[in-house]
A and B are shown apart, each in its own frame.
Chain A
Amino acid sequence: MASLTELANPARFMRLSSVLLPWLAGAAAVLLAIGFYLVWFVAPSDYQQGETIKIMYIHVPAAWLALMFYSMMTLSALGVLVWRHPLADVAQQAAAPIGACWALICLLTGSFWGKPMWGTYWVWDARLTSMLVLFLLYLGLIALRRAIDEPSRAGRAVAILTLVGCVNIPIIKFSVDWWSTLHQPASVLRLSGPTIHSSMLWPLVITAVGFTLLALALHCAAMQAEILRRRVRTLTIFEAERLDRLSLQAAQ
């Protein structure tokens, strides 16, 4: 545990992430360029969906990443509540807006796919509704942190709500199995293997890995910004105290 704590030292994180970030961003750019070349110029259209299948290459990775970021926030919440580690709180705070953006992309691209395929932008089916709940949870967590002035209290409150909200993650994943939904069942992450043809699966995997690296790069940059913000806050308090002392000395 001691070595884990050392690894999670904010100063060490700043050094490591500064080295890692350009590589993450570069690899993401290369993979997304290859992935979208395959999507737009190589992958075939679907025999039922036609060219609207192209929306899937954004929609599916966005859904995965919305779930992945919430799962990361759940682990960070444990770090905040059990080990009270400041970097866990930083990680959780930085992840919330990024996860919210992926959830929003998932909902919007799903709607743009749903209108031509299902005839409607939205239905209150279990998968769509539970994904909307995830998006609202992200917004709630961001709002809760902003509503509490004292940072450590805000971190603990957000961690508790994050742990409560994680019950929604298996509901989203298994909603298509537990209830009769308009949304199709899983076709990639299945015990019996993917049901998508490799000509569509490979572009999907490459764009998904590219988006994941992009999301991790953004998370690293957001964590750096948050660590700097906390350092600025601490130094501002120190400076205010110093100015107080100086004005007291001048008055005496």
Chain B
Amino acid sequence: MTGWLGPHAGFILAAYLAAAAILGGLAVAILLDRRAQRRALAALEERGAGRRGGASS
């Protein structure tokens, strides 16, 4: 791979790896955050927090 990419292969691979790491990290962070908010909302609604006046318990 590095022979095919010439004398600057390290720089090319570093650029692609950095971009992949940043975008991968961003995507994972956003998806985990969304999942956490969905779970928190589901837990609140299960306790009846979404209903006017709250749960009857």
State the A residues within 8 Å of B (CB): 45, 50-52, 54-55, 58-59, 62, 97-98, 101, 104-105, 108-109, 112-113, 115-116, 214, 218, 221-222, 224-225, 228-229, 231-232, 235-236, 238-239, 242
Contact = CB atoms under 8 A, between A and B. Distances in A.
A105 B19 contact: yes
Interface residues of B, number: 34
A55 B13 CA distance: 9
Given A45-B6, A113-B15, A222-B34, 5 more contacts: A54-B12, A97-B29, A105-B23, A108-B18, A232-B44
Q: Give the 3 A-B CB pairs with smallest separation, nearest first.
A: A228-B37, A242-B54, A225-B34
A242 B30 contact: no
Given A105-B18, A221-B30, A221-B34, A115 B11 contact: yes
A55 B15 contact: yes
A109 B19 contact: yes
Q: Which applies to chain A's interface (DSSP): helix, strand, loop or mixed?
A: helix
Nearest to A94: B30
A157 B42 CA distance: 31
A101 B47 CA distance: 38
Given A55-B12, A231-B41, A232-B40, A225 B30 contact: yes
Contact of A238 (B9, B34, B54): B54
A112 B37 contact: no
A56 B13 CA distance: 13
Contact of A221 (B14, B31, B40): B31
A105 B9 CA distance: 18
B49 A218 contact: no
